[in-house]
């Protein structure tokens, strides 16, 4: 199978959907000739033209309102927000309009919007462009929230998100754009709400999201040399959450570490911990549930401080060892 990058997988998913359905189009800042802030839409303007690759003014509030209007009148828009931090400017439209309209009209309308946005730290963009705010969006009924950790998942989940009749927040980590793996050229989808066990193990379960999946897999590889057999579960979608896969793994291993990049306090890891604690799997635990999240600081610009602000391979390994004592 050919290997492509995460960035190329996202782009391929959009191109395939736009070729298959004339109602699909994309809007965003600098997505036209410039190709997007991270180059995801590079070449799409030339292929599809200005009607379907719509370059917009710098106004997240305005363009989020535009895609909602387009969606409720029959189109299937994709909105690219340059940085996930800018969701703060578009929140009124997304949380108070997109998330609620279908419910308020008794299911008679559809709001098929995908909001694609790069999040996370590690690229030196400092405090206002490096946050992980996905937990905010999971709190809003009516929104689905997706956080793929690999090129294969990115393509399949994005195609499923575009086909979805409800609004979907689609978080892409900046540092994952350059990662590569085998991705089929043909069209395929991955159902929203289906987790994946990325690595089988028996001693401890790591439930990780986003880029932390890759760091947890690396930590598991290194720990295996020390005789510790780790299982790594990737929820892939935060809403809807595949509770069964997580609970099955925790029941098997008896220990669970939840790893996420967002600030630990009130992060999505707390929701996963609650799901476990409120289930009958709680009785199978051999150690307390542990969360490993970001520090309670704005993301620093200094690269060394930036690295220390969020979990890394070594801190994941340290947390596992602490739990295995």
Per the annotation, the verdict on 129 as an active-site residue is yes
Whether residue 257 contacts residue 319, with contact meaning beta carbons closer than 8 Å, is answered with yes
Beta-bridge mates of residue 206:
232, 257
Is the Cα torsion angle 98, 8, 83, 258 positive or negative in sign?
Answer: positive
* Phi/psi-derived region of residue 131, left when phi > 0, alpha when psi is between -120 and 50, beta in every other case: beta
Whether residue 130 contacts residue 161, with contact meaning beta carbons closer than 8 Å, is answered with no
DSSP secondary structure code for residue 298 in this structure: P
Strand 180-182 relative to strand 3-5: parallel, antiparallel, unpaired?
Answer: antiparallel
Whether residue 306 contacts residue 300, with contact meaning beta carbons closer than 8 Å, is answered with yes
Q: How far is CA 132 from CA 119, 161, 223, in A?
A: 6, 20, 27
CA–CA separation, 156 and 191 (whole Å): 8
Q: What dihedral do alpha carbons 81, 82, 85, 89 form, nearest 10°?
A: -50
CA–CA separation, 255 and 250 (whole Å): 6
CA–CA separation, 71 and 102 (whole Å): 11
DSSP secondary structure code for residue 319 in this structure: H
Cα 215-39-49 angle, rounded to 5 deg: 140
Active-site annotation holder among 129, 139, 173, 248: 129
DSSP per-residue codes, 171-222: EEEGGGTT-EEE--SS-----TT--EEEE--SSEEEEE-THHHHHHHHHHHH
Q: Which residues are catalytic?
A: 129
């Amino acid at each position: 199978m050919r290997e492509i990058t995460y960035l190329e997988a996202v782009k391929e998913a959009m191109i395939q959907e736009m070729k298959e359905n004339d109602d699909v189009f994309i809007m965003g800042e600098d997505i036209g000739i410039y190709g997007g802030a991270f180059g995801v839409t590079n070449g799409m303007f030339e292929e599809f033209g200005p009607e379907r690759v719509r370059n917009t003014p710098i106004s997240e509030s305005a363009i989020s309102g535009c895609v909602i209007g387009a969606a409720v009148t029959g189109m299937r828009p994709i909105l690219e927000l340059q940085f996930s931090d800018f969701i703060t400017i578009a929140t009124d439209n997304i949380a108070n309009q997109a998330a609620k309209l279908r419910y308020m009209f008794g299911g008679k309308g559809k709001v098929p919007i995908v909001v694609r946005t790069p999040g996370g730290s590690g690229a030196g963009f400092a405090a206002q462009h490096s946050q992980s705010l996905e937990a905010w969006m999971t709190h809003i009924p009516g929104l689905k929230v997706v956080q793929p950790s690999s090129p294969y998942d990115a393509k399949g989940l994005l195609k499923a998100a575009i086909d979805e009749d409800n609004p979907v927040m689609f978080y892409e980590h900046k540092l994952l754009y350059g990662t590569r793996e085998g991705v089929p050229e043909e069209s395929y989808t991955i159902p929203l709400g289906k987790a994946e066990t990325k690595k089988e193990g028996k001693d401890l379960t790591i439930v990780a999201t986003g880029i932390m999946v890759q760091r947890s897999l690396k930590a598991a590889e290194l720990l295996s040399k020390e005789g510790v057999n780790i299982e790594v579960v990737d929820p892939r979608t935060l809403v809807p959450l595949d509770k069964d896969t997580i609970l099955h793994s925790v029941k098997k291993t008896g220990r669970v570490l939840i790893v996420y990049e967002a600030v630990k306090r009130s992060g999505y890891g707390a929701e996963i911990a609650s799901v476990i604690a409120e289930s009958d799997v709680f009785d199978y635990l051999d150690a307390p549930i542990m969360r490993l999240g970001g520090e309670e600081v704005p993301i620093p610009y200094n690269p060394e401080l930036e690295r220390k602000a969020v979990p890394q391979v070594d801190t994941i390994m340290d947390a596992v060892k602490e739990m295995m004592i």
